[in-house]
Amino acid sequence: MKGPTYIAFDGMSWPNPTDPLDVEWSMRYGNPSREQMLVAASFVAAYRHLVEDSAVRRNEKITALRTAIAAEQPEGSDR
């Protein structure tokens, strides 16, 4: 199984919301591994930071995250 991916931007590292490791399903219905629990903790921490940020800073982070995700996608990919 391929491990989780993180996206680095603006001196930060964030969990990749398009990661193929299906952490959400495993946390809800499966028996999550330690690795999956750590990835889930990363998502919780990222969410907390977005909620605490000002609207301007939150939008900057989301824009940078989307740009980084788009840069990783192969051309012609819908995902």
Confidence at residue 10, expressed as pLDDT on a 0 to 100 scale = 82
pLDDT-derived band of residue 5, with 50, 70 and 90 as boundaries? confident
pLDDT, tens digit (0-9, with 9 covering 90-100), for 10-69: 888 888 887 766 788 888 899 998 988 988 898 899 999 999 999 999 999 999 989 988
pLDDT at 56: 97
Confidence (pLDDT) at 75: 64
Domain ranges of the chain: 44-73
Task: Sort 36 into a burial class: Cβ within 10 Å, 0-12 / 13-18 / 19+.
Answer: buried
Neighbours of 67 (CB within 10 A): 11
What's the token pair of residue 50?
A: 């977005």
47 Rama class: left (phi>0) / alpha (psi -120 to 50) / beta: alpha
Rounded to 10 deg, the angle between the 55-72 and 34-52 helix axes is 140
